[in-house]
Structure 1
Amino acid sequence: MARFDVLELRIGGVSPLGSSGALSAIDKHQVHHPLPVSYLGLEGDEQADRKHHGGPHKAIHAYSISHFTTWSKELPDRTNRFRPGAFGENLVIDGASETGLCLGDRWRIGSAVIEVSQGRQPCWKLNLRFDVPDMARRVQDTGRTGWYFRVIEPGILAAGDCGSLIARPNPAWSLTRTSHLLYHDRMNRPALAELAGLPGLPDSWRRLALARLASGKIESWSRRVETPEPYEK
Structure 2
Amino acid sequence: MGRLLGIFASNGGVPKLPVESAQIDINGIVGDACNDKKHHGGPMKAICVLENELLVKLQSEGHPIQPGTTGENILVEGYNLEFGKVFDVGEVRLEVVS
Instruction: Place the TM-score, normalised by the shorter chain, in its bin.
Output: 0.7 to 0.9
In structure 2, relative to structure 1, the CA distance for the partners of 1:101 and 1:51 (3 Å cut) is same
1:73 to 1:115, Cα distance in 2 relative to 1, 3 A: closer
Which residue is 2:5 aligned to? Answer: 7
- Alpha-carbon RMSD across the aligned residues, in angstroms, is 1.6
Pick the aligned partner of 1:85 from 62, 68, 71.
Answer: 68
Q: Does 1:116 find its partner at 2:96?
A: yes
**Structure number with larger C-alpha Rg:** 1
* Structure 2 SS opposite 1:117: coil
Distance 1:70 1:105, change over 3 A: closer
Q: 2:15 aligns with which of 27, 52, 71?
A: 27
Cα offset, 1:114, TM superposition: 1.5
Sequence identity, in percent? Answer: 29
Residue from 86, 100, 104 that aligns with 2:84: 104
- Which residues of 2 match residues 208-223 of structure 1 at below 5 A? none
**Normalized against structure 1, the TM-score is what?**
0.39
Match of 1:64 in 2: 51
Q: 2:33 aligns with which of 46, 49, 56?
A: 46
In the alignment of these two chains, the number of paired residues is 98
Structure 2, unaligned runs of 5 or more:
none
> Normalised by the size of structure 2, how large is the TM-score?
0.85
Query: Which structure shows the bigger proportion of residues in strand conformation?
Result: 2
Higher relative contact order (CA 8 A, sep 6+): 2
- For structure 1, the residue ranges without an aligned partner over 5 or more in a row are 15-24, 119-233
Q: CA shift at 1:107, angstroms? A: 1.7
Residue aligned with 1:113, SS: strand
CA contact (8 A) 2:3 2:89 kept: no
1:67-107 Cα shifts (integer Å, max 9, x gaps)? 233223322xx5xx3221121110011113xxx32322222
